A and B are shown apart, each in its own frame.
Chain A
Amino acid sequence: MSEEPQAEWPLYEVFVRGKRGLNHVHVGSLHAADDEMAVRHARDVYTRRNEGVSIWVVRAEAITASSPDEKDPFFAPSGDKVYRHPTFYAIPDDVPHM
């Protein structure tokens, strides 16, 4: 980061785990001056309706994403491989969260 004053706070992506959720889910983004403030802003903006019990935040610029241009080479080849799904097995009753 440069030492020059910035006109706007950096963008953060917010992930919240709900009371009944097992994993953090992306819920949106916000601006904050630093990581600690981002967690607090996330609490104020995204958990005020009793949604969450845990928050992750990450600087948006730290996320590396796949490009829309690569959509076909990335994802199309798995479109017809039905045998990769484990749907041909019966799941035992005592295996949770499947």
Chain B
Amino acid sequence: MSHSTPDPNDAHGSVFDGLLGSDDSQWAFGTDFEDPLAGVDTTMPEGVAPDALATYCVMLADDALVLSHRVSEWCSNAPDLEEDIALANIALDLLGQARLLLARAAAADPTVVPALPEGSPVPPEDALAFFREAGDFRNVRLAEVDNGDFAHVVCRILLFATVRLALMERLRESRDRVLAAVAAKGVKELAYHRDYAGRWFLTLAQGTDESRRRLVAALEDLWPLYPELLATHAVEDEVATAGVGVRPADVAAEVEVVLEQVLAMSAVERPDRRALAGVRGRTGRDGLHTEALGRMLAEMQVTARAHPMGQW
């Protein structure tokens, strides 16, 4: 994850620098990759507390990072090769978003980055991804629960991408130009994720009795985690007031319109399930998670933690 770190202070640096090297000839289709931060003003916006901006970036990043890992667990397990690659592509899109957002969080407030041994080459985004405890993760719990069958990952991506696409569409107007650039990139990716999941939702719902049974069961299973995606945390409220972030509650209506459309086309009833409670009102955004996250992080972080001086 860390060959080349986008340096927020270097307007000319590209996230692809470390990958490209100096030899263009090895690239069969050319090297005109787009750097999402090219020409973007990386100075911190005025009028927003650095710790609030950093926490908000961590929230958005952790949603993407944790779901990316869950989706990547499908690698070599999908129903066929084509879906396997499709899911891997989605996981990589989300990982890319997480990377840019964690780097932004570290730039906004370096105190959020876990301390590593003196001289460690681990960049801040990797330190945030691999050296935080579960209680420091700010993702929604929908991203972290264990995988189920293929219908389960379809439902999870549909709910997640529908909400995140609506958020990112508004975040393109953020006063933080880096967040706006990350959002502009994310909108294109998430539009595809939502389309992918929506099509499979319809296909499974209208397929065989078995595919429909599995789809309805997966939706019932995940539905209690859906309201958390549209709840507004105090930090989100603060950065939204500052014109830097977006309140999930503000996109709830448009998210509902999209989901109702998918449900109606698929002739699937909206599940009648209550939201999964938090602990004294605290949920994933506050660092209160299901036990699935701890197990997932143990696997995701074990190698990096064993080699805090390692270069990847």
Q: Tell me the A residues contacting B by CB distance below 8 Å.
A: 9, 18-20, 30-33, 36-37, 40-41, 44-45, 48-51
Q: Tell me the B residues contacting A by CB distance below 8 Å.
A: 29-30, 32-33, 80-82, 85-86, 89, 196, 199, 203
Instruction: List the 6 shortest-distance A-B pairs measured between CB atoms, nearest first.
Output: A41-B82, A44-B86, A51-B29, A44-B85, A45-B85, A44-B89
* Chain B residues in 8 Å Cβ range of A44: 82, 85-86, 89
A25 to chain B, nearest CB (A): 11
* Chain B residues in 8 Å Cβ range of A51: 29
Summed over the interface, the residue pairs from A and B with CB atoms below 8 Å come to a total of: 35
**Do A48 and B29 touch across chains, with their CB atoms under 8 A apart?**
no
A33 to chain B, nearest CB (A): 8
Provide the main secondary structure of the chain B interface: helix
Distance in angstroms between the alpha carbons of A50 and B33 in the assembled complex: 7
**Do B29 and A49 touch across chains, with their CB atoms under 8 A apart?**
yes
**Do A18 and B86 touch across chains, with their CB atoms under 8 A apart?**
no
* Chain A residues in 8 Å Cβ range of B85: 44-45, 48
Known: A40-B196, A44-B89, A48-B89. A31 touches B82 (CB 8 A): yes
**Do B86 and A40 touch across chains, with their CB atoms under 8 A apart?**
yes
**Do A19 and B89 touch across chains, with their CB atoms under 8 A apart?**
no
**Do B82 and A30 touch across chains, with their CB atoms under 8 A apart?**
yes
Interface-central residue, B32, B86, B196, B203, by most chain A CB under 10 Å: B86
**Do A20 and B89 touch across chains, with their CB atoms under 8 A apart?**
no
Which residue of chain A lies nearest to B82 when distances are taken between CB atoms in the complex? A41
**Do A41 and B29 touch across chains, with their CB atoms under 8 A apart?**
no
**Do A41 and B32 touch across chains, with their CB atoms under 8 A apart?**
no
**Do B33 and A40 touch across chains, with their CB atoms under 8 A apart?**
no
* Chain A residues in 8 Å Cβ range of B203: 33
List 9 other contacts, CB 8 Å, given A20-B30, A51-B29: A9-B80, A18-B29, A30-B82, A31-B82, A40-B86, A40-B199, A48-B85, A50-B30, A50-B33
Known: A40-B196, A40-B199. A45 touches B82 (CB 8 A): yes
Distance in angstroms between the alpha carbons of A19 and B32 in the assembled complex: 10
Out of A30, A31, A33, A50, which one reaches B29, CB within 8 Å?
A: A50
Distance in angstroms between the alpha carbons of A31 and B29 in the assembled complex: 25
Known: A40-B199, A44-B89. A32 touches B82 (CB 8 A): yes
Pairs A–B under 8 Å by Cβ, sample size 25: A9-B80, A18-B29, A19-B30, A19-B32, A20-B30, A30-B81, A30-B82, A31-B82, A36-B199, A37-B199, A40-B86, A40-B199, A41-B82, A41-B86, A44-B82, A44-B85, A44-B86, A45-B81, A45-B85, A48-B85, A48-B89, A49-B29, A50-B30, A50-B32, A51-B29
* Chain A residues in 8 Å Cβ range of B199: 36-37, 40
Distance in angstroms between the alpha carbons of A94 and B216 in the assembled complex: 62
* Chain A residues in 8 Å Cβ range of B89: 44, 48
A9 to chain B, nearest CB (A): 8
Which residue of chain B lies nearest to A36 when distances are taken between CB atoms in the complex? B199
Which residue of chain B lies nearest to A44 when distances are taken between CB atoms in the complex? B86
* Chain B residues in 8 Å Cβ range of A31: 80-82
Interface-central residue, B81, B82, B199, B203, by most chain A CB under 10 Å: B82
* Chain B residues in 8 Å Cβ range of A36: 199
* Chain A residues in 8 Å Cβ range of B86: 40-41, 44
* Chain B residues in 8 Å Cβ range of A30: 81-82
B60 to chain A, nearest CB (A): 24
Distance in angstroms between the alpha carbons of A9 and B196 in the assembled complex: 18
Distance in angstroms between the alpha carbons of A45 and B33 in the assembled complex: 18
Which residue of chain B lies nearest to A32 when distances are taken between CB atoms in the complex? B82
* Chain A residues in 8 Å Cβ range of B80: 9, 31
* Chain B residues in 8 Å Cβ range of A9: 80
Which residue of chain B lies nearest to A48 when distances are taken between CB atoms in the complex? B89
